[in-house]
Amino acid sequence: MSGILSKMMTALRGGATEVGEAIVDANAIRIYRQELVDARDHLAKAKESLTEVMAEEMRCAREVQRLEKQVAEHEGYAVAALNKGDEALATEVAERIASLEQELEAQRQARTTFATQATSLKAQVQQIERTIHAHERELSIVQTTDSVQKATRSIGNHFGSGNSRLYSARESLDRIKDRQQKEQDRMQAAKELEAAGPEAQLEEKLRQAGITKSQSGANEVLARLRKKQG
Amino acid sequence: MKSLHQLVERLSALDSERCGGLIFDYQPMPGEVEVVQVTVQDREELPIYLTMADTQLLCICYLWGESEVDPERRTALYAAMLDMNIPMPLSSFARIDDRFAIFGALSRDSSVEDVALELATLSDNAVDALEAFADYLH
């Protein structure tokens, strides 16, 4: 566990939130990046070693097979020599078998050693892969925090500069609802007009174009009253 | 998605159906990191801010400030926000400095359609959240 979240929480609670003060300094990001580069380098080397060791193991396995076959062959020869009563030849072949068996034992041991090394290197590769994943996650947390801070600063400056204003939640909600209501009313009116048929629609069009007058407005009433007085 | 600029270009080309019937306007903002302000028509009070972080694309919408929270209902508000975090589609609640926010995080490899869906859902969630949490605010 890297404990990166605990570190970030401590930093955030620590009040490093004053304008211009970064929770994540550029140096920290550089260190995390370098750790990641080192770990990837380490991984490449471990994989290379693993490939070499596995190749050696395979070579030994082939050698063991070859020697086993030779030993079997020579055992056949020795038996044939004994059957022929040629003790001297049988002894010579037996000496050859002894030498082959020594070599065989050496190759078997080497194969076991390489196999053990390969197992250990595989575990090492997995360990480095986990480390890289952890570093990538840490770097992501640190960089995201950094980006959000910087973005927040830009947004803050934007509102501070008077280009826009920040509304309170209630204001925003009221304004949005009001707009939604108006839109609904407009749609309702259009629907009613549609339902009222073509005659009403024409009347409405004429009224909107100012050709016909709607019900007399206050101004017309006043004008009429003045005329009556005068 | 290589850059915000490229993303915005492709978002602008989408028809409004892809944006949940909403109309978005994109405006880049000056600053240390690239931030694009997304204004939603008829919801201008709740702009969304797009920014590219290391591995993710963040869409952030500010909801209300610390000072707007009714102090007596603060704990209840926190609990309600946590309760709603999972049911709320695609978005989560957050706090940035002294402002509460709602946000969505996407992989930088997301398609432009995914980003559009994120923005539309986030905007709907934001309006809904203001209504749902109004009781906890002054």
pLDDT tens figures, B5-43:
999 999 999 988 888 889 999 999 888 889 999 999 999
B1: exposed, middle or buried (Cβ count in 10 Å: 0-12, 13-18, 19+): middle
Phi, psi of B101 (to 5 degrees): -145, 165
Residues β-bridged to residue B49: B37, B60
- Among B119, B38, B131, which Cα is nearest to A177's? B131
CA-based radius of gyration for chain A: 45
Chain B CB contacts of A166 below 8 Å: 62, 65
Looking at residue B36, the DSSP 8-state letter turns out to be E
CA distance to partner chain A, nearest, from residue B42 (Å): 7
Nearest residue of chain A to residue B64 (CA atoms):
A169
Bridge partners of A51, per DSSP, are none
Note the pLDDT of residue A1.
Answer: 47
Does residue A40 contact residue A47 with C-beta atoms inside 8 Å?
A: no
- Number of helices (H), then strands (E), belonging to chain B: the values are 3, 6
Check residue A223 and give its pLDDT: 81
Chain A residues with beta carbon closer than 8 angstroms to that of B43: 176
CA B65 to chain centre: 15
Least confident among A105-119, B18-32, B91-105, B106-120: B18-32
pLDDT tops 60 at residue A17: no
Q: Summarize chain B as % helix, strand, coil (round to 5).
A: 40, 30, 30
CA B20/CA B11 separation, integer angstroms: 13
pLDDT at A19 over 50: no
> What is the CATH topology of the domain spanning B4-136?
Yope Regulator; Chain: A, (3.30.1460)
Q: Which residues contact B95 (CB under 8 A, 6 or more apart)?
A: B101
With a cut of 80, say whether residue A10 has pLDDT above it: no
Across the interface, whether the CB atoms of B51 and A148 are under 8 A apart is answered yes
Cβ contact (<8 Å) for A169 and B97?
A: no
The 10s digit of each residue's pLDDT in A190-210 is 888 888 888 888 888 888 888
pLDDT at residue A13 is higher than 80: no
- Chain-wide mean pLDDT for chain A? 86
Amino acid at site B19: C
CB B61, CB B35: distance < 8 Å:
no
Whole-number Å distance between alpha carbons of B19 and B36: 17
pLDDT category at A219 given cuts 50, 70, 90 is confident
Query: d(Cα A173, Cα A123) in Å, to the nearest integer?
Result: 57
Q: Do B31 and A17 touch (CB under 8 A)?
A: no
Helices (H), chain A: 4-13, 26-84, 87-160, 169-196, 198-208, 218-229
- A34 alpha-carbon distance from chain centroid: 19
Nearest Cα neighbor of A148 from B69, B24, B97 is: B97
Q: What is the largest CA-CA distance in chain B?
A: 47
Instruction: Quote the CA–CA distance of B85 and A213 in Å, as a whole number.
Output: 55
Min Cα distance A45 → chain B (Å) is 26
Phi, psi for residue A25 in degrees, rounded to 5: -85, 155
CB contact (8 A) between residue B42 and residue A155: no
B17 vs A162, more confident:
B17
Is pLDDT at A18 greater than 70 in this prediction?
Answer: no
| pLDDT value, residue A23 | 64
State which of A107-121, A149-163, A193-207 shows the largest mean pLDDT.
A107-121
CA distance A176 to B119: 17
Q: Is a pLDDT exceeding 50 seen at residue A163?
A: yes
Rounded mean pLDDT, A10-16: 67
8 Å CB contact of A167 and B45 = yes
